[in-house]
Chain A
């Protein structure tokens, strides 16, 4: 038998607004209205301000470790813009705050979270998002399940999950892609290839020419785009979202971007990154690119920029103030939200948490287990005041 080709494929790269200001009028036509572009730019600047302030908070001991998103604003915000707020699930990794704000998460929640308080993860009612996932790539499977539930119920809802180049090495990433493709689930996979997984370059995660082509192996649509071009991001995510809604088919998107900051405030990227590389990417900063686009079209000027910078500072300062004013959680919180109903042993530990033996000595419990149970029933989980941040 002769040899024959059984499969051939191409992976497209999408860019609409290039770093020199060139704009693909055909692809970009009607994609985002002028007012929306201004709003997106304002959002990007505000998120950059949050990053700068969060960095200073950490350095001055007012906040724990924080992962800056600097340089990746277009990818997150463009994707969030292309999805339906209040309907579609956002399933983020730890570097994704910009998309969450766009879909309604108050900024002080994120600060509160990185200040060590779980209430920052207490997603308000009516918002469709999961808390930032700390383990790498694991959240991608949750997006699969959330999209599956939407399809099961016949809802017009999809799930979009964000992850990095490093996550594509994790088994859960491949299981998520495989599940979504084979079970026909409406998931948009957005890989933010920012070049680095802490100190390990993307080539150690993937030796193929693109990460995008990983989607091919699962029989799903895939595309690579300029992740620092917000127009390209909106285009590819909108196309993917439409496909997901229409046909319950997933898409794998590789957004090529760059982590301008350190991995987190606990990292020093100068140990492993060439400064020339960083300088090159600074010139591709998505904020600079979009500002130039607006200035070129007489949509923006220095005065508006000054005003925006002042507004952003004010908004972030207000969020910081709000987060810092929230009193520390109650010690008993660690018990009260573990189960819907507190098991007996946890009741006892909760009631005797200031003793050395944690209830080993039954006499520590006034009235014994029964009394403790009664006390807990009196302040049941359902009646307990939920202190939202």
Chain B
């Protein structure tokens, strides 16, 4: 076991998968000698050489389009998009090709690719370095979307993603990159894609979140008197409906927390699943604590925008009192 940050855990997963499988290559902007702007790929260039850790030209559609070709030829590319704000140029390649290739060729060609993307706000970054666009990709059939919130999950989920036969968007909450350390096994292990995790067990209220806000939820729950169950979805496509349903049937009350804007955010889908499967169990309207339906503000206002512990705590109290 080693006490690692989320950055270090991802770095370890990359090293272990690259050692194990020479089909795995890392590519992107500044991922080579510089080790990535967040240092996630630190040391890989030295360890595996420029053939397997490749600094590409500065072009996101190019990085993803080329990765699709690499993957169709049987490699396991792990491209990095430097910030989620720069993922948009690759939207076309992701949605018109990566997501559809297996379906439109009836399995003759597939795209086993893991796109790593630092995501979200809270680090006082420049404009377009703090967005939460993951739900766009949840809406595109053919992709899977993973958002780890702990070093342990990040390592295990990334290994699962790299081994998965389908294209995966792996969003790394940059606010959590170095926020805390956790004991992470040095041996390889996997965390299954599509399975949520009960972070804190409880009986009276269910709080559902993923990514960086999970940490805010923990703080809010610590400040509350009720017995609250916290579920970290970990994967947002496919959704672990069973975990959500089992918890809400027990508690009858649910609060959903995410960074992205409220309207058509993934919280709406989670709420709808709860309505479909838990209608007769509900004791209170489902609450959503989310970013606002505004563009992500520049960093002087970012903590006003993000679902911080106090807003979550208030929502919990409202749901409890209903």
Contact = CB atoms under 8 A, between A and B. Distances in A.
A345 interface: yes
B56 A130 contact: no
B114 to A, nearest CB: 14
B65 A141 contact: yes
B322 to A, nearest CB: 24
B241 A145 contact: no
A152 B57 contact: no
A242 interface: no
A346 B67 CA distance: 27
A343 to B, nearest CB: 3
A316 interface: no
A345 B241 contact: yes
A330 to B, nearest CB: 11
A360 interface: yes
A145 B142 contact: no
Given A172-B61, A344-B242, A345-B239, A145 B66 contact: yes
Interface string B92-104: 1100110000111
A6 to B, nearest CB: 22
B69 A142 contact: yes
Interface stretch (A175-183, A207-215, A261-269): A175-183
Interface in A113-158: 118-119, 121-124, 130-131, 133-135, 138, 140-150, 152
B56 A183 contact: yes
A346 B241 CA distance: 12
A144 B97 CA distance: 14
B107 interface: yes
A362 B277 contact: yes
A179 B107 contact: no
A141 B106 contact: no
B65 A121 contact: no
Contact of A172 (B57, B65, B74, B75): B65
Nearest to B142: A338
Contact of B54 (A123, A183, A343): A183
A179 B66 contact: yes
Contacts of A148: 66, 69-70
Contacts of A346: 238
23 contacts: A91-B69, A118-B104, A118-B106, A138-B65, A138-B93, A140-B65, A141-B61, A141-B64, A141-B68, A142-B68, A142-B69, A142-B72, A145-B67, A145-B69, A145-B77, A152-B51, A172-B61, A172-B62, A175-B59, A337-B106, A338-B103, A340-B102, A343-B238
Closest 7 CB pairs of A and B: A145-B69, A141-B65, A149-B73, A175-B62, A343-B238, A142-B69, A122-B106
Given A149-B74, A149-B75, 15 more contacts: A91-B69, A130-B109, A138-B92, A138-B96, A142-B66, A142-B69, A142-B97, A145-B65, A145-B69, A145-B70, A146-B72, A176-B65, A182-B57, A183-B54, A340-B164
